[in-house]
A and B are shown apart, each in its own frame.
Chain A
């Protein structure tokens, strides 16, 4: 499994590190004022994929447990937002928060039995769980069963939706950064490398994994809620679509598991390629897209960040050797 990306991001919060992030954030913040509606919509869904793949990366990238039921957080966030908006008449931002909290609570509850499983067993358990939630929602009259809901047109506001998603994506990236540089991150790295050894050293592995899964669920739920706000329709097949999980895995894998930049780069590349192909080749886009994914996985098993790291590492070694030669001279 190609999940062995080095989680330890280099560099602290220095000016040099922050400038590019601030530049990107500023560019995205002014985007709605300088680009057209199509591009706002494109950037909205790009940010959604960043938030989703980053929150996926938070759990799977750091612990090594592949969450094949990830879409359940997206769907629960969407339903949580929709129900609190339509049933409880909560303001939209509060409704989004409720969606995130419901997904987080669900993650916390299911993690207790499910996180005692490891490897393939965990993956299968999560996959089945997502499927079970889909079937329940598809038949549960409380959530309008298969018919689902539509968000009333008065809530439709592409610009507000865009800024909500921008904040969610930025918050998700920040959360991943903070977790990576915290005691929690350290414990997760220990769990990933050797869970038995970590447990024997006193790491409460189930608790740490549960907390991380809940944080991952919270941000995925927020992103799901904001996405449904923009799509305006939610029904079980679209809310619990396994394709979302697979897309998120592909994006994180392409960028590099367990890194901060990997999921962002993966989302940017895969989503823009998919978007462009979909518009240009109505019948061939899936074949081309599949070929690109196969090609990149074969060429870069550790993702783009893996390739970059190797390149910089080589450069550093080369420079170090040069200096050594100079000193000797």
Chain B
């Protein structure tokens, strides 16, 4: 009796364990079939596959969606014009984007990029943000597949010795440099600056670079702290900033915290001469949410719709200028593009150009080609150093002025004078020097270029609040 009883108990446990085995096998087989069935099975490539994940859910969802929309628009434009000519194959091939939602999560990025490389994608595009780009990089590197970064700005991405990671956007260290240059050009020049950045890799890399630069230009840093991005109230730090006699506040991190800083400043009644924040003010929602509080706020920007690089040569792409990109994007998605959309589209253009020039779909060949590329798109200059870091592209400074986002720096491409002091918007001060970075100074000195200041007013883009978005009273 007892032996039988034990036998039965052993059977039941074994049966449970057998279920586990079957389960594992089913899962393994299922995933295996799924992955292999999506592999291209034809002998010669009939399509150029480009794989990526984007944060379509989680904390970076809105940025991820903007970037994805930019890339989708590029793919649509390429395919409607007959694809990309690949000389080694003697034909033009359409592009196919394969994208997954990484949920703003580094672990999901790791599994999804492994999935993408086994699907046999020709090229990879990085997810939005620096941490996610860093999680994708080793997989691209290990499989020797080109990974183009459009939304990972942290300088550390290009300090790891990766051979296959190429940046299209200006790195984080460049973000606030033009803001300091702009402040330095003002007359009277402000002296006291408060730094108040978010505590995240991107904002810290911006802060690390701007601190010594501001000191070298003779500014006094009267406050220097970081904040937790998830915080919902910054009034203690902001009232401390007010008490230090700061004239200018430079800082920020992303969207929500940037808006909170402006609301808190208003509720405290703090008057600063200028506020320059990362990321947030570039988004058209910043105006929609804050109304008149947005007035005078400046933002370092990778791209603005009023920029026109078409007079530079060699110029690549069917998008004639920023204005055209803005209009196309607006008509396709019903929302104004920010620079995240533009840099994603430009990333597509960079890949397209390198494929055409190298005539190959081999990542190693295309990567080599990118080292020698030096050209312009509607997004600006493209040129990389030996690590793959972007050195050609330059940042501009934009400012909200009476409901319109104006480019105020470098002065050679400015659509308006800086509004300074912003809290007293009656008399904009004169700009002294014209010192600016290479591309833009070239723009003003280039003999074939149209004198920019004269045409600038025609290029000004008035930001309309996207349809369906009501302007909230502040």
User: Which of A's residues lie within 8 Å of B, judged by CB?
Assistant: 9-11, 14, 16-17, 19-21, 23-24, 27-28, 31, 35-43, 45-46, 135, 138-139, 145-148, 150-153, 156, 158, 227, 230-233, 235, 237-238, 241, 243, 261, 264-265, 268-269, 272, 275-276, 278-279, 282-283, 285-286, 305, 308, 312, 315-316, 319
B383 interfacial by beta-carbon distance below 8 Å: no
Q: Are A39 and B12 in contact (CB under 8 A)?
A: no
- Which one of B103, B106, B226 has the greatest number of beta carbons of chain A within 10 Å? B106
- Which one of B101, B119, B228 has the greatest number of beta carbons of chain A within 10 Å? B101
Q: How far is the CA of A161 from the CA of B152 in the complex (A)?
A: 26
Q: How far is the CA of A20 from the CA of B13 in the complex (A)?
A: 10
Q: Are B160 and A231 in contact (CB under 8 A)?
A: no
Given A135-B228, A275-B31, are A150 and B134 also a contact pair (CB < 8 Å)? yes
- Which one of B111, B115, B156 has the greatest number of beta carbons of chain A within 10 Å? B111
Q: Are B11 and A16 in contact (CB under 8 A)?
A: yes
CB A15 to nearest CB in B, in angstroms, measures 9
Set of chain A residues within 8 Å of B9, measured between Cβ atoms: 10-11
Given A152-B160, A231-B107, are A272 and B27 also a contact pair (CB < 8 Å)? yes
Set of chain A residues within 8 Å of B436, measured between Cβ atoms: none
- List B residues 77-122 near A (Cβ within 8 Å): 99-101, 103, 105-112, 114-115, 117-119
B190 interfacial by beta-carbon distance below 8 Å: no
Q: How far is the CA of A40 from the CA of B114 in the complex (A)?
A: 9
Given A150-B156, A227-B107, A230-B110, are A145 and B199 also a contact pair (CB < 8 Å)? yes
Q: Are A147 and B20 in contact (CB under 8 A)?
A: no
B141 interfacial by beta-carbon distance below 8 Å: yes
Given A10-B9, A138-B228, A153-B141, are A278 and B112 also a contact pair (CB < 8 Å)? yes
| Number of B residues, CB within 8 Å of A | 63
Q: How far is the CA of A234 from the CA of B14 in the complex (A)?
A: 40
B135 interfacial by beta-carbon distance below 8 Å: yes
Q: Are B12 and A286 in contact (CB under 8 A)?
A: no
Q: Are A38 and B114 in contact (CB under 8 A)?
A: yes
| Among candidates B99, B108, B135, residue contacting A233 with C-beta atoms closer than 8 Å | B135
B333 interfacial by beta-carbon distance below 8 Å: no
The 10 closest A-B CB pairs, nearest first, are A20-B17, A41-B114, A38-B118, A11-B13, A282-B101, A38-B115, A36-B118, A146-B199, A156-B138, A233-B134
CB A229 to nearest CB in B, in angstroms, measures 11
Q: Are B131 and A235 in contact (CB under 8 A)?
A: yes
Chain B contact surface mostly: helix
Contact with A along B34-63 (1 / 0, CB 8 A): 111000000000000000000011000000
CB A144 to nearest CB in B, in angstroms, measures 9
Closest residue of chain A to B161, judged by CB?
A153
Closest residue of chain A to B15, judged by CB?
A312
CB A292 to nearest CB in B, in angstroms, measures 15
Q: Are A14 and B10 in contact (CB under 8 A)?
A: yes
Q: Are A156 and B110 in contact (CB under 8 A)?
A: no
**New A-B contacts (15) at CB < 8 Å, excluding given A27-B24, A38-B115:** A16-B11, A17-B13, A19-B14, A20-B21, A28-B24, A38-B114, A40-B114, A45-B107, A146-B226, A150-B134, A152-B161, A153-B161, A156-B138, A238-B106, A243-B105
Q: Are A158 and B114 in contact (CB under 8 A)?
A: yes
Set of chain A residues within 8 Å of B103, measured between Cβ atoms: 278, 286
Set of chain B residues within 8 Å of A153, measured between Cβ atoms: 137-138, 141-142, 160-162
Q: Are A36 and B35 in contact (CB under 8 A)?
A: yes
Closest residue of chain A to B98, judged by CB?
A279
Q: How far is the CA of A278 from the CA of B103 in the complex (A)?
A: 9
Set of chain B residues within 8 Å of A146, measured between Cβ atoms: 199-201, 204, 226
B18 interfacial by beta-carbon distance below 8 Å: yes
CB B156 to nearest CB in A, in angstroms, measures 7
Q: Are A147 and B201 in contact (CB under 8 A)?
A: yes
B28 interfacial by beta-carbon distance below 8 Å: yes
B30 interfacial by beta-carbon distance below 8 Å: yes
Closest residue of chain B to A305, judged by CB?
B16
B432 interfacial by beta-carbon distance below 8 Å: no
Set of chain B residues within 8 Å of A138, measured between Cβ atoms: 199, 228
Closest residue of chain A to B199, judged by CB?
A146
Set of chain B residues within 8 Å of A286, measured between Cβ atoms: 57, 103
Q: How far is the CA of A45 from the CA of B106 in the complex (A)?
A: 12
Q: How far is the CA of A254 from the CA of B268 in the complex (A)?
A: 50
Q: How far is the CA of A37 from the CA of B32 in the complex (A)?
A: 11
CB A246 to nearest CB in B, in angstroms, measures 13
B23 interfacial by beta-carbon distance below 8 Å: yes
CB B232 to nearest CB in A, in angstroms, measures 15
Set of chain A residues within 8 Å of B17, measured between Cβ atoms: 17, 20-21, 24, 261
Q: How far is the CA of A265 from the CA of B23 in the complex (A)?
A: 8
Set of chain B residues within 8 Å of A11, measured between Cβ atoms: 9-10, 13-14
Q: How far is the CA of A46 from the CA of B30 in the complex (A)?
A: 14
| Among candidates A261, A268, A315, residue contacting B27 with C-beta atoms closer than 8 Å | A268
Q: How far is the CA of A286 from the CA of B58 in the complex (A)?
A: 10
Set of chain A residues within 8 Å of B109, measured between Cβ atoms: 231
B215 interfacial by beta-carbon distance below 8 Å: no
